[in-house]
Chain A
């Protein structure tokens, strides 16, 4: 399984990576520190028909391009590609606006608060 971790905090890259590993899933994780970087990579993979991720765990507050902007850009990508991607918000935000906005975003499959828990991973996998 291929997974994008998009977060500006490298500690969370570590935590999420470890948690995914400990949950016993075979997973190849690509780390990105902002939305722009991740979007560029994703677009490149699509263009060059390389492997695209099945799962994206996305933070909201990031430099350069935040999570919601990334989602808007993501929504512009071809549907035949995005249909195969499950995208989840993984954030430390407990802001009600963020939660509402995430719930209403059509591209999103779910919303989790950091840190990533095994319960959350179960949901992510279950949906896969």
Chain B
């Protein structure tokens, strides 16, 4: 029983032990996986670091050092070695060797051993040498572990050998070359190859850049003058290339030297001069980036036989330019590096050149505007409406305001205007929605010394950066304003004189007429008995006639005077009544029979100046009556009136009176001309009529036959469409 239970117990213990062992195994497996993952991770991190650095190391030696170093780093070996080259090259191009941190290997010895090992023609891509194999390889005897990757690139024909090793004395139990690391070794080799192939190109760019970096500092010294910058670039490049170096520019029509280095030799300058002819006949092929190289042969007998150029075609605006770097044979190698260098310099020069041309255009345009800005007689200033600060103003402003200020100390609008006008202007600018507007016309601007000038001020809103400003234009209208004021004054003076004259004429006519009328009145009081005595009646008649003549003269002078001085007063005219009344008036004193007839069409409104029309009508009708044939019984006056389709009113006064001799006809409208002596007249009547007709618009025509009669045809403009009459009608 005891035994039995003991056995059972033992069995149980064994079982438990098995289980524990199984667990331990699983645990170990898990640890292994974790380790592997960790190391894999580490491996790729290290390879990544290599890749990053591989771009930076630009010299071949540094690159190879990096590869060897990375072998030690990536694969945790004590030594690393790389051999890169072509099968035909017996010697490796470069070898690097490095001991690990705790390496006790004499690195010199190890290097030789490894080198020899690398040169063995072991086949196969990857070889892991066993201790036995390692021992069989004499140079590798000191190694506990050796790994060699041998890689032939079919495309480039390149051979890359990577080798890593761990010494016998150390890490005997350490095996870094598990399957994972072996794989990584293969991948790593390809990385190295890729870098090496690509580096051929990137390295030349790098080298060019390095050269340029010498003058890169000088970029900092670039000044505002692009031409100076170009000259600087050329000089520095020339020094670096150690060659005659000119910068030559051609657009095939024109060629010119942009800049030349001081070290250029006379022969080269000569060469440059001849480039014009050469470029005309040589079509230089450029690559996709526009770079080209070429050698040019000089004619026989020339001091130099030939020279080499580096060039680039550049597009500037619509033009293709060729830029050349000129050099003597042998002095500059047409290496990729130099071409890149040239490209970079050419690029920098092109930028400067573009800047130069742009500057040139800008300077020209600025100069143009400056001439206008400074030369204009109109004041221009740039004003900030919020602050009232004046950013700029032109000389015309200082002249206008008569202020001795420079751009620097003119700061505020209140320095120009008094406070109220200044704030008025600022307010207008702030409230204005339009971009261009009038601030005011004929604004009286008071200068600081108290004198005044008048200006039309306009403004334009402009956006400068993120700031809204106003360009204010001042046009000095003082002269115009003064002329206006002068004109107004003289106009007022004239009005005053006119009024005085009016009043004078009025007074004179009244004062002359009053005693005349007194005489007329007194004569009417004469005792009829007295008139019967002797020749009294005849004298009485002559006196009456004299009074009438003088009265008429006064009337006519008054008519003439008023016609020239008074404005037109338009109103509808009842022409029928006017004609009839006038006729009744003028024939009043006539005792002989006169046949009077009319043909008046007043169906249309006739608008004109009534007083003037009536003066004309009275004169003409009065003449028709006055110059009747004395003693005849068949005198007649016919008056016709109608509105013609052309808008004129036509008045015809025809009489069968004494008529006017043909040779006198052209004088009847002259001032003071009298064609007849048969009746008292002043010679003013027809002259006044002509003047009036001119004033109201129209014409007067007179036809006459001596002894038969006279016909006067008048045309009056009917002011039916002249706005004035509207007021008077209402």
Contacts and interface: CB of A to CB of B under 8 A. Distances in A.
A92 to B, nearest CB: 4
Given A9-B514, A92-B514, A115 B506 contact: no
A77 to B, nearest CB: 27
Given A9-B514, A114-B514, A95 B521 contact: no
B526 to A, nearest CB: 11
B509 A96 contact: no
A15 B555 contact: no
Interface residues of B, number: 20
Nearest to A8: B514
A3 B710 CA distance: 49
Contacts of A9: 514, 518
A18 B518 CA distance: 13
Nearest to B554: A94
B576 interface: no
Interface in B543-566: 554-555, 558, 562
B518 A93 contact: no
A92 B562 contact: no
B704 to A, nearest CB: 29
A18 B525 contact: yes
Nearest to A61: B510
Interface residues of A, number: 19
Given A92-B510, A95-B506, A95-B509, A115 B521 contact: yes
A19 B555 CA distance: 25
Interface in A64-95: 92-95
A114 B512 CA distance: 13
B517 to A, nearest CB: 4
A114 B510 contact: no
B524 A115 contact: yes
A121 interface: no
Contacts of B611: 96
A11 B521 contact: yes
A111 interface: no
A113 B517 contact: yes
Contact of A93 (B510, B515, B524, B525): B510
Given A94-B555, A94-B558, A115-B524, A12 B518 contact: yes
A116 interface: yes
A11 B524 CA distance: 13
Interface string A85-109: 0000000111110000000000000
A9 B524 CA distance: 17
Q: Which of B507, B514, B554 has the most CB of A within 10 A?
A: B514
Nearest to B524: A115
B522 A15 contact: yes
B509 A94 contact: yes
A19 B524 CA distance: 9
A116 B522 CA distance: 10
Given A11-B522, A15-B522, A15-B525, A92 B506 contact: no
A92 B518 CA distance: 9
Contacts of A113: 517
B520 interface: yes
B513 interface: yes
A96 B520 CA distance: 21
Nearest to B506: A95
B513 A94 contact: yes
B516 interface: yes
Contacts of A14: 522
Interface of A: 9, 11-12, 14-16, 18-19, 61, 92-96, 113-117
7 contacts: A11-B522, A61-B507, A92-B510, A93-B506, A93-B509, A94-B513, A115-B522
Given A9-B518, A19-B525, A92-B516, 7 more contacts: A9-B514, A92-B517, A93-B513, A94-B509, A113-B517, A115-B518, A115-B524
